[in-house]
Amino acid sequence: MVSAQEHPVAPGTASPSASRQREGEVEPPLFTLFIPTFNRAHLLPRALASIEAQTCRDFEVVIVDDGSTDGTADLIQDWQRRVDFPVVYRWQENQGKYAAHNLGVELGRGRFFFLLDSDDRLLPQTLERLLYHWETIPPAERQRFAGVEGLIESLDGQRLLTHPYPQSPLDVSFLDLQYRLGVGGDKKRFIRTEILKAYPYPLFPGEKNIRDSLTWNRMALRYVFRCVNESFQQVEYQPDGLTSNRFAIRMGSPRGFGLCCLEEVTLFRPWLSRRQRRRSMIDFIRYALHSGSGLREQARLIDQALLWYLLLPAGAIRWLGDLYRLHVKGGHQPNKVKYQN
């Protein structure tokens, strides 16, 4: 495994952006760096500094502020005045990370779209190395690739915080990577912006969360990623982040998580093992009951009536267990998986 910063830059290498101006017109940038943020003014300077340090300068920055009240706007506006690259800042009423993501994709003009969480940082050569790996794909084959994907590491650069790929490079869809090769964990990737615009996150009134994998699974039916064992981002999991209490997040968005489970047992069933199908079906029933979907509606959505019928008791038990935790235990359940920095 290598880090992007371990690859030296050739002296005198010109920035790709130098050739992107023509007769007074500025072409769209190569990369859109997108930061969704909510009350992270105390952490944002780390992410912003890592953007300024990029060796590839052909990018824009799009920041969607999901209703911050902690001075984030002043911080970003001051940063906009100091830097020499385009920065688009948009404030919205708090709607959650995925609504912010949809807006960021809508605003992005770059050919490639890269998500940088507001509490993390890029390595200095991240964009340069991503572009290098993209250009190793033969041009005639690039249409089937969504982008390039790599690893994450701790802030001190000493430990991987995800599972590496069995070989590098590896051209594979998200479904095959997760379910057939068994490679999980957080990854960082750029995606062709035109593809992301075709796969927005579905949003439900009153809900703010959904699984990232819903979009990746849908995309995997048509596209693959070039995966490399190289770190592109340094990560620090926060006590108040989305990974801190999965139970509360899921209970707050039952329709979104129920849709993910429904698609797993219908659209993506060929990739799942029998055990995974049972688990996804149980969770579909569980979330459907939380969202008020009755048995008739569930039966209409499912094309495996027998499996659904057999697992109804297990799904109902999960649902009742959730209600007990919500109303008796106060709605908090520690994560089974501990996220370590």
Q: Report residue 2's pLDDT band, with 50, 70 and 90 as the boundaries.
A: low
Give residue limits of the domains in the chain.
26-235, 246-327
Mean pLDDT on 180-187: 95
pLDDT of residue 237: 82
Q: Are residues 162 and 185 in contact, defined by beta-carbon separation less than 8 angstroms?
A: yes
Cβ neighbours around 321 below 10 Å, total:
12
CATH 1.10.3720.10 for the 26-235 domain, yes or no: no
Mean pLDDT on 47-52: 98
pLDDT of residue 144: 98
Query: Could you tell me the pTM of the whole model?
Result: 0.88
Q: Report residue 123's pLDDT band, with 50, 70 and 90 as the boundaries.
A: very high
Q: Report residue 330's pLDDT band, with 50, 70 and 90 as the boundaries.
A: confident
Tens digit of each residue's pLDDT (9 = 90 or more) over 221-235: 999 999 999 999 999
Q: Report residue 245's pLDDT band, with 50, 70 and 90 as the boundaries.
A: confident
Q: Are residues 225 and 150 in contact, defined by beta-carbon separation less than 8 angstroms?
A: no
- Among 20-29, 135-144, 147-156, the least confident range: 20-29
203, pLDDT greater than 70: yes
Q: Report residue 331's pLDDT band, with 50, 70 and 90 as the boundaries.
A: low
Helices 274-290, 305-327: axis angle to 10 degrees equals 60
